[in-house]
Amino acid sequence: MDARDLRVSDAEREHVGRILQSAVGQGMLSLGEFTERMDTALAAKTRAELNIVLVDLPGVRLVGAETANRGYTAPQPTSGPQQQHPTVAPGERDVVRGRMSGLSRKGPWHVPATLFVSTKMSSVTLDFTEAVVSTQVVEVVVDDFASSVSLIVPPNATVDMNGLDLVGASANNKVRTGPPVGALHLVVRGRMRFGSVTAKHPFGTGWRRLLGQMD
C-alpha cells in the first residue's frame, strides 16, 4: 500500500494544524485560508488528503517525496524555536479537556489549586460562583486552540490574565485584576491560539450593585 493511502491519526491532524498556524504567523496564509485548510485537515482520513493543505507551503516534506526511508515524515515548522507549552499532567479531576465539544463546570464543583484547561475548537464555561474552592488563589493553565472560554466569578473575585500568550486570540477581563481582596483570585496563564477568553461576573451583578447603593 502506498504511504499516501494510510490512515491519519488525531495527533497528525493536530500537528498539521500547528504547521498551518505557523504559516499564518509568517504571513503565508490569511485567517480565512487558515480556517478553510483546518476544516480540510480535521476531515482528512488519509495522508494524501492531509497533504492537500500543505502542498504549496515551503519547507515541509510531503508523503510521496523521495526520502531516505521512503516513508512518511511529519511536516515541521520552517522557522523559529519551539516554544514550551503548559503540560497537562495531573489527575483527571484537575483537567478540563475537550475537542470540538461544549463543556461546563458549574454548581458546587471542586476547584483544585491549579486547574488545567486543554481544549480545541470547543465552547467552555467555568462558573466559580458556587464552586468549592480550597485556596484563595487558583491558577488556571490554558492550552487552547480556537475555543471560547468563559470564566464566571463571584462579585468580589479578582482575575489576572497577564500571563496569557495570545496568538490570533483575544482576552477580555471584565472584573477587577487584583490584588486579591475576596475569597477567590484567578491567575490565568498559558496559550490561547485563535480563540477567546473572557472573565466576567454573573449576569445582573452590576444592576444589583447599583440598586444596593440606591437603597
The DSSP secondary structure of 87-110, one letter per residue, reads ---S-GGGEEEEES-EEEE-SS-E
113 with 186, same domain: the answer is yes
Q: Which of 31, 55, 79 is the last residue of a domain?
A: 79
Asked whether the beta carbons of 184 and 157 are under 8 A apart, the reply is yes
CA-based nearest residue to 199, from 208, 191, 188: 188
State the total domains in the chain: 2
Angle (CA) 5 9 12, round 5°: 95
End-to-end CA distance of the chain: 78
Q: 121 lies in a domain?
A: yes
How much is the pLDDT for 77?
A: 41
Least confident stretch, 34-38, 41-45, 111-115, 182-186? 34-38
The confidence band for 1, taking pLDDT boundaries of 50, 70 and 90, is: low
SS3 1: coil
The confidence band for 158, taking pLDDT boundaries of 50, 70 and 90, is: very high
Mean pLDDT computed over 14-21: 78
SS3 18: helix
67 with 110, same domain: the answer is no
CA-based nearest residue to 111, from 87, 97, 127: 127
73 with 145, same domain: the answer is no
121 with 189, same domain: the answer is yes
Asked whether the beta carbons of 174 and 199 are under 8 A apart, the reply is yes
How much is the pLDDT for 75?
A: 42
